[in-house]
């Protein structure tokens, strides 16, 4: 059956472009995509195996939900409140949004040049200096695998923690346990798998529905707080910089607080890994990425300012029994357990669906890297099941990996949090290398691939600023939340990050370099 499907696909891909779509089956037509999609896949030497059932609205909704800036900003509010205070939180968010804007604009251009599920590692393979293409592409592929695979338990843990917070609001006697959190992580991940397998074909429709909730939830919380909550003076909100974590230096504390806005604006490459399921990807994808960034940044900034105005006593909010300052603020504002539960559940629901989209992204990235023989068991992980039209094996493996990681939390929440938050460092470094390669290519005045989102002469400046910002953010991603940390409070990201990189290098030296040639070797240079 699989062979038959591939033969049909090959035949369709090589037909005359003038053949009528009415003579094709709906499945083949949907897989084909537009004429430009076919040209892009042929140029990259890839066979179209996935359905192109995403359009602008659905991929825009997909990106908005996965990034979920205003929701993530609220659930990680404790970080900037400890490190920087309200003033630090607001100004660092603004600075981070500007910096990430340059990053995402740079990536949008590359996505238009090579719209593939591989994303960064594919771009590096094409844009890096010839002698470094294979090695750098391989490293970036592993970094992307690390970043996205750890994202599932990370977001599921965030959703599970909020569920525990909701229980605390309604049952003050409830005492959260680590094994409770692990079971909730598994439950959220299982829910996400259902949407990525049995309901996979409905995913574009689901994205549109949840996008409405994303927007509705924003205004529900935004209006409630401005109407019901007591407000601080603007001078206090914008000019209060605090070192509540005890670093001894307010400036350093503010810079460490940027971890929260980085996390809330991370994932700009998510939609690129779905590009082989997007119709007219080279045109639609970069525009969806840009609009996602603009709108999510504005919503996130507005919500952050709102919460900073309505925060009340910082110490009491930080000491909340719910574990999440935003829940306590909503509880204080409404004066009602029911009201606080309903409003807080909006961010919880969005975290759950963010996990759904994370599963989709990480499975496609794993599928693409396996297709190019970058990881062990590539043939198994890159197989697209007949009738499913999704990389089912990669989806299941991602699910199993998330469950195994969640079990670590039973023994040590510190170890689990370090692994789960490792995705930030891994993705940032993949952005640095991929955009850096584009910057070098421009600096050397080498010819670039055609793009339907061309940055023109401004490209070298945009790429340069993006790389500079990413290097700055990358350093602070390894800082612990508190100075002089104990073993329990240490940020072990740097150790785990180093171990994974070393493992990938060892695998590359002994086996990977004999199997992995890099996507550039499959390029059809005649197109």
With 70 as the cut, is the pLDDT of residue 334 above it? yes
Residue 401 banded pLDDT, cuts 50, 70, 90: very high
User: What was the pLDDT predicted at 340?
Assistant: 95
Do 505 and 143 touch, CB atoms closer than 8 A? no
**Is the Cβ–Cβ distance between 399 and 355 less than 8 Å?**
no
Q: Residue 506's pLDDT is what?
A: 87
Domains and CATH numbers, the chain: 54-522 (1.20.1740.10)
Predicted confidence at residue 252, as pLDDT, reads: 92
**DSSP state letter for 243:** E
Confidence category of residue 527, pLDDT binned at 50, 70, 90:
low
Helix (H) or strand (E) holding 351: helix 337-371
Pairwise CA distance, residues 80 & 77, whole Å: 6
pLDDT of residue 8: 37
Tell me: pLDDT of 14 over 70: no
pLDDT of residue 24 exceeding 60, the answer is no
Neighbours of 43 (CB within 10 A): 17
Tokens of 241: 């910089």
Residue 185 has pLDDT above 50, yes or no: yes
Q: Are 226 and 81 in contact (CB under 8 A)?
A: no
| 168: nearest Cα among 355, 310, 340, 311 | 340
Asked if 74 and 310 count as a contact pair (C-beta separation under 8 A), the reply is: no
Q: Quote the Cα angle for 138-140-143, to 5°.
A: 115
Distance from chain centroid for Cα 414: 22
| Per-residue model confidence (pLDDT) at position 267 | 80
Q: Can you tell me the mean pLDDT for 386-404?
A: 92
The predicted pLDDT at position 514 comes to: 81
Q: Among 28, 39, 35, which residue's Cα sits nearest to residue 4?
A: 28
Using one digit for the tens of pLDDT, what is the confidence trace for 204-213?
A: 999 999 999 9
Q: How confident is the model at residue 524 (pLDDT cuts 50, 70, 90)?
A: confident
* Residue at token pair 């429709």: 205
**Counting beta carbons within 10 angstroms of the beta carbon of residue 41, is it exposed (0 to 12), middle (13 to 18) or buried (19 or more)?**
buried
Residue 11: its pLDDT value, please? 39
**pLDDT class of 182 with cuts at 50, 70, 90:** very high
Average pLDDT rounded to a whole number, residues 285-294 = 96
Per-residue confidence (pLDDT) for residue 245, from 0 to 100:
84
Listed residue (203, 204, 223) closest to 215, CA to CA = 223
- Provide the terminal-to-terminal Cα distance of the chain, rounded to the nearest Å: 30
Q: What is the largest CA-CA distance in the chain?
A: 72
Weakest-pLDDT range from 28-42, 246-260, 500-514: 28-42
Is the model more confident about 11 or about 25?
Answer: 25
Mean pLDDT of the chain: 88
DSSP state of 390: S
A 10 A CB-CB count for 480 gives 15
Number of Cβ within a 10 Å radius of residue 357: 30
pLDDT of residue 7: 41
Segment 222-226 mean pLDDT: 95
Section 258-277 average pLDDT = 89
CA dist 116 to 48, 285, 290, 348, Å?
10, 11, 18, 31
Checking if the pLDDT of 430 tops 60, the result is yes
Please name the residues in contact with 316: beta carbons below 8 A apart, sequence gap of 6 or more. 328
Please tell me the distance from the alpha carbon of residue 142 to that of residue 504, in angstroms, as a whole number.
7
Query: Of 149-163, 329-343, 434-448, 478-492, where does mean pLDDT reach its minimum?
Result: 478-492
Distance CA 402, CA 150 (A): 7
What would the pLDDT profile of 81-119 be if each residue is shown by its tens digit? 989 999 999 999 999 999 999 999 999 999 999 999 999
Is residue 354 a contact partner of residue 323, using CB atoms and an 8 Å limit? no
Q: What is the pLDDT of residue 32?
A: 66
Cα Rg for the chain, rounded, in angstroms? 23
d(CA 103, CA 121) in angstroms, rounded, equals 16
Which pLDDT score is estimated for 4? 41
pLDDT digits (tens, 9 = 90+) for 475-505: 988 888 778 877 767 777 788 888 888 888 8
3-state SS string over 163-194?
Answer: HHHHHHHHCCCCCCCHHHHHHHHHHHHHHHHH
Phi, psi for 184 (deg, rounded to 5): -70, -35
* Block residue for tokens 């399921």: 277
19 pLDDT more than 70: no
- DSSP-derived 3-state class of residue 474: helix
Question: Does an H or E element contain 83, and which?
Answer: strand 83-84
Both tokens assigned to 355: 């996990």
């Amino acid at each position: 059956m699989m062979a038959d499907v591939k033969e049909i696909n090959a035949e369709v891909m090589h037909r005359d472009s003038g053949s009528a779509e009415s003579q094709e089956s709906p499945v083949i037509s949907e897989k084909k995509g537009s004429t430009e999609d076919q040209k892009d896949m042929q140029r990259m030497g890839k066979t179209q195996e996935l359905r192109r059932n995403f359009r602008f609205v659905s991929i825009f909704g997909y990106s908005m939900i996965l990034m979920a800036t205003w929701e993530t900003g609220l659930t990680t509010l404790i970080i900037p409140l400890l490190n920087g205070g309200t003033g630090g939180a607001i100004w660092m968010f603004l600075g981070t949004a500007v910096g990430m804007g340059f990053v995402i604009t740079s990536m949008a251009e590359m996505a238009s040049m090579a719209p593939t599920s591989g994303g960064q590692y594919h771009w590096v393979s094409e844009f890096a200096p010839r002698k470094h293409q294979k090695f750098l592409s391989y490293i970036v592929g592993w970094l992307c695998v690390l970043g996205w695979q750890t994202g599932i338990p990370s977001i599921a843990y965030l959703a599970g923690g909020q569920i525990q917070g909701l229980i605390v609001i309604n049952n003050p006697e409830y005492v959260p346990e680590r094994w409770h959190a692990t079971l909730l992580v598994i439950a959220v991940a299982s829910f996400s798998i259902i949407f990525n397998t049995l309901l996979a074909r409905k995913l574009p429709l689901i994205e549109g529905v949840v996008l409405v909730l994303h927007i509705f939830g924003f205004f529900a919380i935004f209006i409630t707080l401005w109407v019901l909550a007591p407000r601080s003076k603007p001078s206090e909100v914008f000019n209060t910089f605090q070192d509540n974590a005890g670093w001894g230096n307010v400036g350093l504390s503010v810079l460490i607080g940027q971890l929260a806005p980085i996390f809330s604006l991370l994932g700009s490459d998510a939609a690129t890994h779905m590009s082989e399921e997007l119709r007219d990807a080279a045109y639609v994808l970069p525009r969806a990425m840009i609009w996602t960034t603009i709108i999510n940044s504005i919503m996130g900034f507005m919500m952050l300012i709102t919460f900073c105005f309505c925060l009340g006593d910082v110490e009491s909010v930080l000491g909340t029994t719910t574990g999440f300052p935003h829940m306590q603020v909503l509880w204080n504002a409404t004066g009602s357990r029911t009201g606080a539960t309903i409003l807080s559940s909006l961010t919880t629901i969005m975290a759950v669906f963010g996990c759904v989209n994370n599963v989709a992204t990480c499975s496609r990235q794993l599928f693409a890297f396996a297709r190019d023989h970058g990881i062990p068991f590539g043939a198994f992980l890159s197989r697209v099941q007949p009738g499913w039209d999704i990389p089912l094996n990669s989806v299941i493996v991602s699910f199993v990996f998330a469950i195994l990681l969640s079990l670590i939390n039973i023994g040590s929440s510190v170890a689990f949090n370090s692994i789960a938050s490792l995705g930030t460092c891994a993705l940032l470094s993949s952005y640095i290398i991929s955009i850096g390669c584009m910057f070098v290519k421009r600096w050397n005045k080498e010819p670039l691939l055609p793009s339907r989102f061309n940055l023109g002469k401004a490209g070298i400046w945009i790429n340069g600023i993006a790389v500079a910002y990413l290097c700055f953010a990358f350093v602070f991603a390894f800082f612990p939340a508190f100075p002089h940390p104990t073993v329990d409070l240490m940020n072990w990201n740097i150790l785990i990050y180093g171990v994974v990189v070393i493992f990938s290098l060892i695998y590359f030296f002994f086996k990977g370099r004999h199997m992995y040639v890099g996507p550039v070797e499959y390029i059809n240079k005649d197109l």
